[in-house]
Amino acid sequence: MTDDAFESSPSPPRRPLTLIWDWPLRLWHWLFALCLAGSLTTGLIGDIALMDWHLRLGYAALGLLVFRLGWALWGGRYARLATFRPSPRGFVEHFRGRGVSEPRSAPGSALVLLMLLAAATQAVTGLFTSDEIFTEGPLVRHASGDTVDAMSALHHRVFWVLIGLIGAHLTAHVIYGLRRDPTPLGMFTGRKPSSLPALGRHLPVRAGITAAAAAAAVWALLYVY
């Protein structure tokens, strides 16, 4: 929504499409989306035959979250944590149509952070979750019965929170599409409307190191701890 909804004024000029998102971030985005979709679907179906896949997809999602944390610290310029700025002022400016030129809007920053937090909660609590019959997380053996019960309850509740956040994310992209805003295509092309300087490097070696470290961390957690 902009002030144009209430008074007649010329529309601001469209900003040029600028390369903002590096390819490691885009690849991570789609792999993470697939893992979330698969793990949430298998969890919702609840078929015992699918629980092995539910666990595998959860481990993969955890590894991808570790990668994203590393990439937020030393990845591409616009993938870093410093570019998330969900300030109250940013919300007001965004909905007035006067948001500053940032990689992410304030509402977008808040929504992504909440989704990542919810997904991380799901992945971690899943390690300690048990249905007390057929399936249990790999760290259940290290936890007390009360801890397992608490983690299992939280795992099942946050499931619906994550579903709601994903729904809000997809709804926002539908709204962008109805407004013919190319922002939703950014995770395909790497480009979005922005007056920021274009991304210079994609840092493939750094991405490989981060991915290897994330995989090693999850492997150690599952098979060494």
**Across 161-177, average pLDDT:** 96
What domain count does the chain have?
A: 1
Is residue 165 domain-resident? Answer: yes
pLDDT (0 to 100) of residue 172: 94
Spell out the residues 6+ positions from residue 204 whose beta carbon is closer than 8 angstroms to its own: 23, 24
Is residue 106 domain-resident? Answer: yes
Is residue 124 domain-resident? Answer: yes
Q: pTM (2 decimals)?
A: 0.89
**Across 201-215, average pLDDT:** 97
Structural domain span for residue 209 = 23-223
Is residue 169 domain-resident? Answer: yes
In angstroms, the Cα distances linking 158 to 84, 92, 115, 122, 131 are 23, 28, 11, 7, 16
Q: What is the CATH number of the domain that holds 72?
A: 1.20.950.20
Residues 75-123: tens digit of each pLDDT: 999 999 999 989 888 888 888 876 666 788 899 999 999 999 999 999 9
Is residue 9 domain-resident? Answer: no
Is residue 99 domain-resident? Answer: yes
Whether 3 shows a pLDDT value over 90: the answer reads no
**Across 32-53, average pLDDT:** 95
